[in-house]
Structure 1
Amino acid sequence: MNDAPELDPSVATGIDRLLSVQRPVVLAHIRSIRARHPEASPDRIIAILEKRFLAAVTAGGAAVGASAVIPGVGTGVSLALTGVETAGFLEASALFAQSITEVHGISVEDPARARALVMTMMLGAPGAQVIQQFTGQFSGQPVDRNANWGRAITSGLPSFAIGPIADRIKRAFIKRFVVNQSASAIGRAVPFGIGAVIGGAGNRMLGGKIVASSRQAFGPAPAVFPEELAVPERKPRVIRVAEKKAAKR
């Protein structure tokens, strides 16, 4: 029985779009972090990704919650702004999930797999159980409930299996997503500054669950980075300045 809320097709399409981040964007994101932290190990880069993700989603929730106390911005406007913040949360979650995947040496170029990955991370344990159930069905072998499920959805399961899996996960995701966002949206619209606290704390709590889910999905960080994440060696500043001056002549 499908008891997930019915969504307007355009809304469902919008969610799909927000949950898909093109791989070049993901690679550029990780390389930029590596360029700023050239000595950082994969484990350290993952920690930075987690910290940035939590900071981004927490700030988004607090910003929308604070709008309830700004002169001229009422509760109705705050609820409308929550839709914008929700889009930002989904985009941040998608970028984070796919970035973690790339650090683990797994490239996700199939949009369906990418969306399923992000939705499963956001669902947490219920989503992981769906992946493990399908993995057991296709392999014909029992699956350890504590096993890392990330590789199964990103590369392990055959392509023809992704459609049914994604549909089932999406139904569960929409059901939980709509309920969670409705409750937190009301919280962020509470006036007198309380909304900012509820919004930021609520987003951080959900973000923390996504971080925990990502760790369960892939396990410990790898010892080395995949070749795709290599950062070109930067020339010394003196040479870069000289080249820039020469180019202007």
Structure 2
Amino acid sequence: MEKRVSNNATGPANPTNSDNVYEINPEEANRVTNALLDGLDKAVAAQSGVIKKYVDGLRKRNPESNPAQIQAILDKHLLNLVSGTGAAAGASAAVPGVGTIAGIAAIAAESVVFLEAASWYVLSSAYLRGDNIEDEERRRALVLLVLTGSKGSALVDTLVGDMGTVKGVTSAATLSRFTGPTLSGLNGRLTKLFAKQVTKRLKWAWVSKLMPMGIGAVLGTSANRKLAKKVIEHAGEQLSPLPTS
């Protein structure tokens, strides 16, 4: 039977034996969302110099590689990293005696790791493409734009429409038109959009990881790889084009 997630659960997260429905307490979902937002704060607070050093190090170790090839290394690194954490969470959630609540706690912690890895990936990719990552609010906007995808882009387009039409540029490039207060306001709206999206997505990821040992580990890896591929896809759409050399 297909596993379903209930948003109206009144008790703790628990898989029922009668109908195989996984009930996830809304308070638990909110706790995870808040943890993710804290993780986002930590990720974007990282000094841009650390990110630049990482990307420049990749260039130095791969002197014959063009920007597209360096980007491929970043893509592979993200996929490998999140696949490992997804499998670990899927397995630990199904260990006999751990329990569903403890399993969700493990997955919540893993989700924060995923977000931090995704944020690092976005900012590294942005720097590789020449996007400005110096300012913390701008770094936050770049990460949120990629994580929210087309809806985040539509929000930026709406706000830019009020400032004057800009055609043929990416959402990341458009951020240069936002000053401090305006950029902060944009980030507030993007954060709300992200929180709404991620709560829905992570609930379904939880279901796949809270399955029996083996199946949970495999689906945990699959869920994380799927999310990571979306991040990679959105980065290609929202960030500036890769330079040719």
Normalising by structure 1, report the TM-score: 0.78
| Structure 1: unaligned runs, 5 residues or longer | 225-249
Q: Which of 147, 172, 194 lines up with 2:215 in the alignment? A: 194
Matches within 5 A, 1:1-249: 11=35, 14-20=38-44, 21-138=46-163, 140-141=164-165, 143=167, 147-153=169-175, 155-224=176-245
What CA deviation, in whole Å up to 9, does each residue of 1:94-150 have, x standing for no partner? Answer: 111111111112231221221121122111111111111112211x22646xx4211
Sequence identity of aligned pairs in percent?
A: 29
Deviates more, 1:48-57 or 1:27-36: 27-36
1:59 positional shift: 1.7
1:92 positional shift: 0.6
> For the residues of structure 1 that align with 2:146 and 2:222, how far apart are their CA atoms?
19
Please give the secondary structure, in 2, of the residue aligned with 1:179: helix
The answer on whether the counterparts of 1:18 and 1:94 sit within 8 Å (CA) in structure 2 is no
> For the residues of structure 1 that align with 2:208 and 2:220, how far apart are their CA atoms?
7
> For the residues of structure 2 that align with 1:142 and 1:45, how far apart are their CA atoms?
29
Distance 1:156 1:44, change over 3 A: farther
Residue of structure 1 in register with 2:5 after alignment = none
Residue of structure 1 in register with 2:14 after alignment = none
Q: RCO higher in 1 or 2 (8 Å CA, sep ≥ 6)? A: 1
1:219 positional shift: 4.8
Match of 2:139, as an amino acid? A
> For the residues of structure 2 that align with 1:18 and 1:181, how far apart are their CA atoms?
20
Distance 1:184 1:201, change over 3 A: same
Distance 1:88 1:103, change over 3 A: same
The answer on whether the counterparts of 1:97 and 1:214 sit within 8 Å (CA) in structure 2 is yes
> For the residues of structure 1 that align with 2:129 and 2:209, how far apart are their CA atoms?
36
Count of aligned residue pairs for this structure pair: 216
The answer on whether the counterparts of 2:86 and 2:223 sit within 8 Å (CA) in structure 1 is yes
What CA deviation, in whole Å up to 9, does each residue of 1:144-193 have, x standing for no partner? Answer: 6xx4211122x332233101111111111111111211221232121232
Larger Rg: 1
The answer on whether the counterparts of 1:112 and 1:162 sit within 8 Å (CA) in structure 2 is yes
Normalising by structure 2, report the TM-score: 0.79
What CA deviation, in whole Å up to 9, does each residue of 1:45-80 have, x standing for no partner? Answer: 011111111221122111110113445433332211
Match of 1:207, as an amino acid? A
